[in-house]
Every structure is written in C-alpha cells, then in structure tokens.
Amino acid sequence: MGIPAGATIQDVVWRYQLLNPAPAGLAVQLCSPQRCFWLDSANGQSSALQGESAASPLTMTLQIPGKGVIYPPVRVVSQQVIVNYR
C-alpha cells in the first residue's frame, strides 16, 4: 500500500538514539525538500512540515559546531520518523 496521491503531512513523530552522550552543541534538523526545522529533543512530535507532500523524502541531519575530529565519534544507534498524513 502506497501513499495516496495528494496526501499531505499532518505531523511527524521522531526518535533517535546515540551510542554515547550527545556532544556539546549537537543540533539536529529534520528536513523535507522545501523546509527544515530543528528538533528540540531526541524524541518528539511536530506539525512544522504540515501541508508538505506526504510522499516527499525526509532527511535528518546532525550538526556539531567547530572543526576537526570528534571524539568519541557520534554514532547513531537508531532513528525513526513516522509521518502522519491525510
């Protein structure tokens, strides 16, 4: 069963888990091709992408300020994004 034509996002639910504690300054975004929003925690729910096509690909990006090697490395153990659409 695919996503119906014309379906739009109502809200998204996310959850991610890191192997080690998050490094200082870690910022995480969830993006559609048209918009992004910052995640305020490792799990939550938002309607920030409401109205976007439910068939749009979503990406989650992790950003850490500064330059150079991060130690210990940031390892994502799991991530999940659930899209509720209409």
Q: What is the mean pLDDT of each run of 10 residues along the chain (86 residues)?
A: 91 97 95 97 98 96 92 94 97
Q: Looking at the whole model, is its pTM more than 0.95?
A: no
Q: Is the peptide bond before 23 cis (omega within 30 degrees of 0)?
A: no
Q: What is the DSSP letter of 22?
A: P
The β-bridge partners of 13 are 45, 82
Residues with Cβ within 8 Å of 71's Cβ and at least 6 positions away in sequence, in order, are: none
